[in-house]
Amino acid sequence: MEIVLLLIPLALLFLAGAIWALFWALRKDQFDDLDNASWRVVFEDREQRKGLPTSKEAADHDNERNS
Amino acid sequence: MNQSLTPPCWHCGQPAPSGAFTARTPEGSRDACCPGCAAAIETIYGMGLDDYYRIRQDEAPAPDARRAELDLALFEIPDLLAPHCASLPDGERLQLQLSGLTCAACSWLIEKALSTQPGVSRASVNLAGMTLTVDYQGAPQARETARRIQQLGYGVSLPGDPVATAANRREHKRLLGRLILAGLGAMQAMMYSMALYIGVFDGSDAVYEWVFRLASFFVATPVVFYAGWPFFQGAWRGLRNRNLTMDTPVALALFLAWGGSLVAMFTGGSHVYFDSAAMFVFFLLISRWLEHRQRQAINAGYARLGDTLPRAVRRLSGDQAQWVSLRQVAAGDRLLLIQGDVVPVDGRIIDGQGTFDEAALTGESVPISRGLHSCLVAGARLQEGSITLQAECAADHSQIARISEQVELASRERLDVIRDWHRIAPLFTAAVLLLAAFTLLWHWPAGPGEAFDHTLAVLVITCPCALALAVPLTLSATLGTALREGVLVASPRQLLRLPHIGGALFDKTGTLTLGRFSLVDTQVAGEGQKADLLAIVSALEWNNPHPLAQAFRDIARNPQMTDILPDGNGITGNLQGQQWRISGAPQQARPGTTCLQLSRDGAVQLYLWLQDSIREESAAVTRALRQQGLAVRMATGDNDAAAGPVARELSLEEWRAGMKPADKTRWLKELQTTTTQMMVGDGINDAEAMLAADVSVATANATSLAQRAAGLYMLKDNLQAIPALPALARRCQRTIRQNLTWALLYNLLAVPFAVAGWVPPWAAAIGMSASSLLVTLNATRVTRWKSSSC
Interface predicted TM-score (ipTM):
0.70
Is the model more confident about B406 or about B348?
B348
User: How does strand B155-157 pair with strand B334-337?
Assistant: unpaired
Interface list for chain B against chain A, based on CB atoms closer than 8 Å: 48, 51, 55, 103-105, 107-108, 111-112, 115-121, 125-129, 173, 176-177, 180-181, 184, 188, 205, 208, 211-212, 215, 218-219
* C-alpha angle B501-B699-B552 in degrees, rounded to nearest 5: 140
Query: What's the pLDDT at B547?
Result: 66
Query: What's the pLDDT at B503?
Result: 92
Is the separation of the CB atoms in B60 and B106 below 8 Å?
yes
Averaged pLDDT for residues B39-53? 79
Is the separation of the CB atoms in B412 and B708 below 8 Å?
no
Averaged pLDDT for residues B105-125? 84
> Same domain for A37 and A65?
yes
Query: What's the pLDDT at A65?
Result: 47
Q: What are phi and psi of B22, to 5 degrees?
A: -125, 145
Q: Say whether B184 and A19 touch across the interface (CB within 8 A).
A: yes
> Same domain for A5 and A27?
yes
Q: What sign for the dihedral angle of Cα B505, B508, B509, B515?
A: positive
Residues of A in contact with B103 (CB under 8 A): 39
Lowest mean per-residue pLDDT among B193-202, B308-317, B658-667: B193-202
CA B277 to chain centre: 38
Q: What are phi and psi of B200, to 5 degrees?
A: -65, -30
Is the separation of the CB atoms in B155 and A1 below 8 Å?
no
pLDDT level of residue B325 (50, 70, 90 thresholds) = confident
Q: Say whether B55 and A39 touch across the interface (CB within 8 A).
A: yes
Query: What's the pLDDT at B107?
Result: 81
Predicted structure pTM score: 0.69
Query: What's the pLDDT at B91?
Result: 85
Tell me the per-residue pLDDT of A4-51, one tens digit each, with 9 for 90 and over.
Answer: 889 889 999 999 999 999 999 988 877 777 767 777 777 777 667 665
Query: What's the pLDDT at B2?
Result: 40
For residue B120, list its beta bridge partners: B136
Domain total for chain A?
Answer: 2
pLDDT level of residue B229 (50, 70, 90 thresholds) = very high
Instruction: Report which listed range, B278-292, B388-402, B722-736, is most confident.
Output: B722-736
Averaged pLDDT for residues B369-389? 85
Query: What's the pLDDT at B1?
Result: 38
Instruction: Report which listed range, A49-58, B420-429, B718-727, is most confident.
Output: B718-727
> Same domain for A37 and A60?
yes
Q: Say whether A36 and B107 touch across the interface (CB within 8 A).
A: yes
In 3D space, the residue among B557, B498, B553 whose CA is nearest the CA of residue B533 turns out to be B557
Tell me the per-residue pLDDT of B54-93, one tens digit each, with 9 for 90 and over.
Answer: 777 677 666 665 566 677 777 888 888 888 888 888 888 8
> Same domain for A27 and A38?
no
Q: Indicate the length of chain B as a whole number.
A: 790
CA dihedral B195→B196→B200→B205, nearest 10 degrees, is: 120
> Same domain for A65 and A43?
yes
* C-alpha angle B484-B486-B487 in degrees, rounded to nearest 5: 105
pLDDT level of residue B39 (50, 70, 90 thresholds) = confident
Mean pLDDT score across all residues of chain B: 81
> Same domain for A42 and A26?
no
> Same domain for A49 and A66?
yes
State yes or no: pLDDT of B745 exceeds 50. yes
Query: What's the pLDDT at B624?
Result: 93
> Same domain for A38 and A64?
yes
Do domains B68-165 and B486-512+616-728 share one topology? The answer is: no
Task: State how far the Cα of B132 lies from the Cα of B154, in Å rounded to an integer.
Answer: 12
State the fold for domain B486-512+616-728: Rossmann fold (3.40.50)
Tell me the per-residue pLDDT of B153-185, one tens digit each, with 9 for 90 and over.
Answer: 788 888 777 777 778 888 888 999 999 999 999
State yes or no: pLDDT of B125 exceeds 80. yes
Instruction: Please report the number of interchain residue pairs, chain A to chain B, with beta-carbon separation below 8 angstroms.
Output: 84
| % of chain B residues with pLDDT over 90 | 13
Q: Please report which helix (H) or strand (E) contains residue B1, including its range.
A: none
Residues of B in contact with A17 (CB under 8 A): none
Is the separation of the CB atoms in A52 and A59 below 8 Å?
no
Tell me the per-residue pLDDT of B390-431, one tens digit each, with 9 for 90 and over.
Answer: 998 888 788 777 777 777 777 666 555 445 555 666 677 778
Is the separation of the CB atoms in B115 and A56 below 8 Å?
yes
- What secondary structure, in 3-state letters, does B414-457 show? HCCHHHHHHHHHHHHHHHHHHHHHHHHHHHHHHCHHHHHHHHHH
Q: What are phi and psi of B487, to 5 degrees?
A: -125, 125
Is the model more confident about B671 or about B567?
B671
Lowest mean per-residue pLDDT among B101-105, B248-252, B277-281, B352-356: B101-105
Averaged pLDDT for residues B282-299? 76
Averaged pLDDT for residues B528-538? 85
Query: What's the pLDDT at B671?
Result: 93
CA dihedral B369→B371→B377→B381, nearest 10 degrees, is: 50
Is the separation of the CB atoms in B343 and B361 below 8 Å?
no
> Same domain for A38 and A60?
yes
Q: Which CATH class is domain B68-165?
A: alpha beta
Residue A9, by phi and psi: left (phi above 0), alpha (psi -120 to 50) or beta? alpha
CA A48 to chain centre: 19
Task: State how far the Cα of B331 lies from the Cα of B610, in Å rounded to an integer.
Answer: 39
User: What one-character-per-residue DSSP string does B526-539 give?
Assistant: SSS-HHHHHHHHHH
Is the model more confident about B670 or about B104?
B670
Averaged pLDDT for residues B695-714? 86
Task: State how far the Cα of B358 lies from the Cα of B349, in Å rounded to an integer.
Answer: 16
- The CA–CA distances, whole Å, from B642 to B105, B518, B626 equal 45, 14, 23
User: What one-character-per-residue DSSP string does B241-306 give?
Assistant: TT---THHHHHHHHHHHHHHHHHHHHHT-S---HHHHHHHHHHHHHHHHHHHHHHHHHHHHHHHS-
Averaged pLDDT for residues B507-523? 85
Q: Which CATH class is domain B312-344+346-392?
A: mainly beta
Query: What's the pLDDT at A20?
Result: 94
**How many Cβ atoms from other residues are within 10 Å of residue B732's Cβ?**
26
Is the model more confident about B618 or about B290?
B618
Q: What are phi and psi of B23, to 5 degrees?
A: -110, 130
Task: State how far the Cα of A14 lies from the Cα of A19, in Å rounded to an integer.
Answer: 9
pLDDT level of residue B317 (50, 70, 90 thresholds) = confident
Nearest CA in chain B to A44: B108
Task: State how far the Cα of B712 lies from the Cα of B503, in Å rounded to an integer.
Answer: 16
| % of chain B residues with pLDDT over 70 | 89
Could you say which of B105, B121, B215 has the minimum Cβ distance to residue A12?
Answer: B215
Residues of A in contact with B129 (CB under 8 A): 32-33
Instruction: Report which listed range, B41-55, B227-241, B396-410, is most confident.
Output: B227-241
> Same domain for A48 and A66?
yes
pLDDT level of residue A67 (50, 70, 90 thresholds) = very low
Is the separation of the CB atoms in B150 and B99 below 8 Å?
no
Residues of B in contact with A32 (CB under 8 A): 126, 128-129
Domain ranges across chain B:
68-165, 169-304, 312-344+346-392, 486-512+616-728
In 3D space, the residue among B41, B440, B456, B48 whose CA is nearest the CA of residue B261 turns out to be B456
State yes or no: pLDDT of B570 exceeds 70. yes
Task: State how far the Cα of B563 lies from the Cα of B573, in Å rounded to an integer.
Answer: 5
Is the model more confident about B551 or about B731?
B731
Question: In terms of residue numbers, what domain contains A2?
Answer: 1-31
Beta-sheet strands, E only, within B18-166: 21-25, 28-32, 85-88, 91-99, 120-126, 131-137, 155-157
Query: What's the pLDDT at B426?
Result: 67
* Coil, strand or helix at B757: coil
Averaged pLDDT for residues B199-206? 64
Could you say which of B118, B127, B205 has the minimum Cβ distance to residue A63?
Answer: B118
pLDDT level of residue B342 (50, 70, 90 thresholds) = confident
Q: Indicate the length of chain A as a whole number.
A: 67
pLDDT level of residue B638 (50, 70, 90 thresholds) = confident
Query: What's the pLDDT at B609?
Result: 87
**How many Cβ atoms from other residues are within 10 Å of residue B204's Cβ?**
7
Query: What's the pLDDT at B625?
Result: 93
> Same domain for A23 and A42?
no
Interface list for chain A against chain B, based on CB atoms closer than 8 Å: 1, 4-5, 8, 11-12, 15, 18-19, 22-23, 26-27, 31-36, 38-40, 42-43, 46-47, 52, 55-56, 58-59, 62-63, 66-67
> Same domain for A40 and A67?
yes
Task: State how far the Cα of B420 lies from the Cα of B408, in Å rounded to an integer.
Answer: 20
CA dihedral B278→B283→B288→B289, nearest 10 degrees, is: 100
**How many Cβ atoms from other residues are within 10 Å of residue B333's Cβ?**
19
User: How does strand B513-524 pair with strand B381-391?
Assistant: unpaired
Q: Say whether B118 and A31 touch across the interface (CB within 8 A).
A: no
